[in-house]
């Protein structure tokens, strides 16, 4: 199986989960290793013959063609992307390049390879595109959750680039018959999450004694899903999803950012008590994100009904596991937050 972006947060969790199961296919892991890619996350796979890592940019068509020819994958699971909304606001160019042009290249390489397969291999081949709920835009407080038929209304350069890639994937099925599947997942959290995103950033700052910067009034709502549950959903869609269909993936866990940060502080107070006071004392309200989407919420009934998937973790159990993981893996955090991370933090939170 060819996995892109398998050194990033969700991709690496997927690769580790997949290879921990007996009898699964080997993985060719294709990742450019941007600031978000981290080979330390994959360190436990050293010497595992079922994992081959290739530092490759998905915008490099010739390199992709060689990888398809050499490894003859039976499926592609496409995670690689620029994924951070704030970075897309500061500097959108790389989002257009990787998320749109890169996905186009990968589709072209996959289509060429797939066109040369025999009838049985062609029918069995799958291209699974990992997308996001952000392509559907922002909900008001009383609006129904996003379903698979909700109209696209992306609001940030990131979500617009993901929307464009979704359209290309859809078109490759409609026009060429490429056997594609697309998933739209809500906000993930869990181990190996790069500390530029809300949950790992709050934990990293809390433990370092820094302020916990909440954008705007802190009442924006996200629907949180433990990363292991997202990986299980992808496995279900890959194995049993109907070709050409899209599937929403969500945790039925709508919470305001303030609620999430309060819960994190309370867990840290319990598991790593400070000498004086509570981690909640470090919360500060900062300038809002431009164009900040107010609410995301996912209706995941189709995935439950058709493929029998349900999240195993509640937000309470998942957050507790996650906080404990960060406390136990401070060396990983130190490594991830060295280098360019400091420049990003200094610029983004300058005020
Ligand atoms: P991430 O930023 O942690 O990881 C992205 C990975 O892609 C990194 O390893 C990076 O090196 C690699 N990459 C970037 N550009 C590349 C290129 N040109 N060629 C090859 N590799 C490249 O992202 P993530 O949070 O793990 O998200 C993975 C996917 O899931 C993305 O497509 C994202 O849109 C989607 N998604 C994320 C979430 C979430 O909450 N994090 C939710 C829903 C969907
Ligand atoms: O919904 C799925 C999406 O979730 C994915 O497609 C994206 O790749 C992923 O990054 C995530 O996007 P968000 O913008 O929702 O995640 P982020 O962790 O950046 O922010 C979550 C919320 O927390 C959001 O309302 C902004 C807020 N926030 C974020 C940061 C980094 C803060 O209040 N302070 C912060 O410092």
In a domain, 277, yes or no: no
Q: How far is the CA of 130 from the centre of ligand 1 (A)?
A: 9
Pocket lined around ligand 2, Cβ cut-off 6 Å: 83-85, 132-134, 186-187, 197-198, 201, 213-215, 220, 222, 257, 289, 296
In a domain, 135, yes or no: yes
For 77-114, the pLDDT digits (tens) are 999 999 999 999 999 999 999 999 999 999 999 999 99
In a domain, 278, yes or no: no
Is there an atom of ligand 1 within 6 Å of 191 CB?
no
Nearest CA owner, ligand 1 atom 15: 81
Catalytic status, residue 196: no
Distance set, CA 171 to CA 2, 104, 223 (Å): 21, 11, 29
Task: Count structural domains, the chain.
Answer: 1
Please give, one letter per residue, the 3-state secondary structure of the chain.
CEEECCCCHHHHHHHHHHHCCCCCCCEEEEECCCCCCCHHHHHHHCCCCCEEEEECCCCCHHHHHHHHHHHCCCEEEECCCCCCHHHHHHCCHHHHHHHHHHHHHHHHHHHHHHHCCCHHHHHHCEEEEEEEHHHHCCCCCCCCCECCCCCCCCCCHHHHHHHHHHHHHHHHHHHHCCCEEEEEECEEECCCCCCCCHHHHHHHHHHHCCCEEEECCCCCEEEEEEHHHHHHHHHHHHHHCCCCCEEEECCCCEEEHHHHHHHHHHHHHHHCCCCCCCHHHHEEEECCCCCCCCECCECCHHHHHHHCCCCCCCHHHHHHHHHHHHHHCHHHHHHHCCCCHHHHHHHHCCC
In a domain, 335, yes or no: no
Which residue carries 């300038």 as its tokens?
287
**Burial degree of 275 (CB within 10 A; 0-12, 13-18, 19+):** exposed
pTM: 0.98
Catalytic status, residue 134: yes
Is there an atom of ligand 1 within 6 Å of 81 CB?
yes
Query: How many CA atoms lie within 13 Å of 256's alpha carbon, on the beta-carbon side?
Result: 11
In a domain, 207, yes or no: no
Contacts of 331 (CB under 8 A, 6+ apart): none
Catalytic status, residue 148: no
Could you tell me which of 76, 148, 159 has the C-alpha nearest to residue 111?
76
In a domain, 211, yes or no: no
CATH of the domain at 52: 3.40.50.720
pLDDT recorded at residue 338:
87
For 162-213, the pLDDT digits (tens) are 999 999 999 999 999 999 999 999 999 999 999 999 999 999 999 999 999 9
Instruction: Provide the residue range defining the domain that includes 178.
Output: 2-193+224-253+292-312
pLDDT recorded at residue 326:
97
Query: How many CA atoms lie within 13 Å of 208's alpha carbon, on the beta-carbon side?
Result: 15
Query: How far is residue 153's CA from residue 52's CA, in Å, rounded to a whole number?
Result: 38
pLDDT recorded at residue 351:
64
Out of 31, 57, 82, 134, the active site residue is: 134
Q: How far is the CA of 142 from the centre of ligand 1 (A)?
A: 31
**How many other C-beta atoms are found inside a 10 Å radius of the C-beta of residue 339?**
10
In a domain, 32, yes or no: yes
Mean model confidence pLDDT for the chain:
97
pLDDT recorded at residue 177:
98
In a domain, 276, yes or no: no
- Full pLDDT tens readout for the chain, 351 residues: 999 999 999 999 999 999 999 888 999 999 999 999 999 999 999 999 999 999 999 999 999 999 999 999 999 999 999 999 999 999 999 999 999 999 999 999 999 999 999 999 999 999 999 999 999 999 999 999 999 999 999 999 999 999 999 999 999 999 999 999 999 999 999 999 999 999 999 999 999 999 999 999 999 999 999 999 999 999 999 999 999 999 999 999 999 999 999 999 999 999 999 999 999 999 999 999 999 999 999 999 999 999 999 999 999 999 999 999 999 999 999 999 988 898 899 999 986
């Amino acid at each position: 199986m060819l996995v892109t972006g398998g050194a990033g947060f969700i991709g690496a969790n997927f690769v580790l989960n997949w290879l921990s199961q007996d009898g699964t296919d080997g993985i060719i892991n294709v990742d450019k290793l941007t600031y978000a890619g981290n080979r330390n996350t994959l360190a436990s796979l050293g010497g595992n013959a079922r994992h081959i890592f290739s530092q490759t940019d998905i915008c490099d068509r010739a390199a992709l063609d060689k990888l398809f020819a050499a490894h003859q994958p039976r499926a592609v699971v496409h995670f690689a992307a620029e994924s951070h909304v704030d970075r897309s606001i500061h500097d959108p160019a790389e989002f257009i390049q990787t998320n749109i042009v890169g996905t186009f290249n990968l589709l072209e390489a996959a289509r060429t390879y797939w066109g040369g397969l025999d009838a049985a291999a062609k029918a069995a081949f799958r291209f699974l595109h990992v997308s996001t709920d952000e392509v559907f835009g922002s909900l008001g407080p009383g609006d129904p959750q996003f379903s698979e038929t909700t109209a696209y209304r992306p609001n940030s350069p990131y979500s617009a680039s993901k929307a464009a890639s979704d359209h290309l994937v859809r078109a490759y099925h409609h026009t060429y018959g490429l056997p594609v599947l697309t998933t739209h997942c809500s906000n993930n959290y869990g181990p190996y999450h790069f500390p530029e995103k809300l949950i790992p950033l709050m934990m990293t700052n809390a433990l370092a004694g820094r302020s916990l910067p909440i954008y705007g009034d802190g009442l924006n709502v996200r629907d949180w899903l433990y990363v292991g549950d997202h990986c299980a959903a992808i496995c279900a869609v890959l194995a049993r999803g109907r070709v050409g269909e899209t599937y929403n993936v969500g945790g039925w866990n709508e919470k305001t950012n303030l609620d999430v940060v309060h819960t994190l502080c309370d867990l840290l107070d319990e598991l790593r008590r400070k000498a004086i006071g509570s981690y909640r004392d470090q919360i500060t309200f900062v300038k809002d994100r431009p164009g900040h989407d107010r609410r995301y919420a996912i209706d995941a009934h189709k995935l439950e009904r058709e493929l029998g998937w349900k999240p195993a973790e509640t937000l309470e159990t998942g957050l507790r596991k996650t906080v404990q993981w960060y406390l136990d893996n401070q060396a990983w955090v130190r490594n991830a937050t060295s280098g360019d991370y400091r420049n990003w933090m200094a610029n983004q939170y300058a005020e």
